[in-house]
Amino acid sequence: MAGLSALPRYRGRFAPSPTGPLHFGSLVAAVGSYLDARTQGGEWLVRMEDVDRPRNVPGAAEQILATLEAFGFAWDGPVLWQSQRDAAYGEALDALRQCRLAYPCACSRKEIADSATRPAVDGGLAYPGTCRGGLPTGRTERAWRLRVDATETAFVDRLQGRVTQFLEPDVGDFVLRRADGLFAYQLAVVVDDAAQGITDIVRGADLLDSTPRQIWLQQCLGFPTPRYAHLPVAANAAGEKLSKQTLAPALESGRAAAELIRALRFLGQPAPEELGRARPVDVWAWAREHWQCAAIPRQRSISLVA
């Protein structure tokens, strides 16, 4: 792998997936990561995580960027598009294969469901290791997986505290390249964070359980591990994370100032009522001056009051 250049003191990022327009939950993550970077004199990058091409909605990426601009976000450098980085992901997979850390897997989802003996921490099924010792006779590879072990993987999250996971029982060997030939999110995000020199990742707590996998992969590839802060996720009245699947409404550019204030208050920042009648630039000026990371609620999810 190519050597990494010297990292800046702080470089953060916001990485939406173009599966639909931005909603309030997306805004919370964007506001938290943006202010954490700007109040520490850091850079803030935007990455379009469109590696999962079948899920991408035509025009959604452009709509996301337009919404960010309308809400007053300003990012450093060009937008990075994962759909243009297959060569970098392939290079990383080749490096893992050469070190015998990655192996081919012939298992279908049904076969895994039939043979798995325990659930994974992310709600799926822990891979039982069927192909770890080699492909079964007469079978061909479908996917590529990364070997894990039973030791503890731990890190201290700036908001959620110490997080631990035992990857082998909790997740199992996880996918790096899928059966459809596309690279998996875990590989893409780790390669891109290293390539962009990301030092600090501020994102929703719905991704907290995947962080130990990313740290393990960073270690396997010889990449530095960023600092992490996982923000509480915005949930609906039923406790479901706001998303396209739970019919979260799209952000309206005409309500930018009001929605920014709502996101700030969600994150524990006491934005005054009169800011709601101001311009987004005025909301950002207040937010930069008064931002307090220590005020962010230390919980994984907060349900919105109807």
- Please name every residue paired with 43 in a beta bridge, in sequence order, or none if there are none: 11
Relative to beta strand 152-157, strand 143-146 is: unpaired
Angle at 293 between CA 288 and CA 294, to 5 degrees: 135
Q: Does residue 8 surpass a pLDDT of 80?
A: no
Residue 2, pLDDT score: 41
- CB neighbour class for 95 (10 Å; exposed up to 12, middle 13-18, buried from 19): middle
Give the start-to-end residue ranges of the domains of the chain: 11-86+196-303, 87-177
Tell me the per-residue pLDDT of 45-79, one tens digit each, with 9 for 90 and over: 999 999 999 999 999 999 999 999 999 999 999 99
pLDDT-derived band at 7 (thresholds 50, 70, 90) equals low
For domain 87-177, give the fold.
Answer: Glutamyl-tRNA Synthetase; domain 3 (3.90.800)
CB 56 within 8 A of CB 63: no
Round to whole Å and give the CA distance between 301 and 8: 31
Q: Please tell me which residue in 227, 241, 244, 290 is annotated as part of the active site.
A: 244
Catalytic residue check, 110: no
Would you tell me how many other CB atoms lie within 10 Å of the CB of residue 154?
Answer: 12
Tell me the per-residue pLDDT of 235-265, one tens digit each, with 9 for 90 and over: 998 888 998 888 889 999 999 999 999 999 9
Cα atoms in the Cβ-side hemisphere of radius 13 Å centred on 214: 22
pLDDT-derived band at 306 (thresholds 50, 70, 90) equals low
Round to whole Å and give the CA distance between 248 and 239: 13
Predicted TM-score (pTM) of this structure: 0.94
CATH code: domain 11-86+196-303 is 3.40.50.620
Residue 120, pLDDT score: 85
Structure-token pair, residue 102: 């990655």
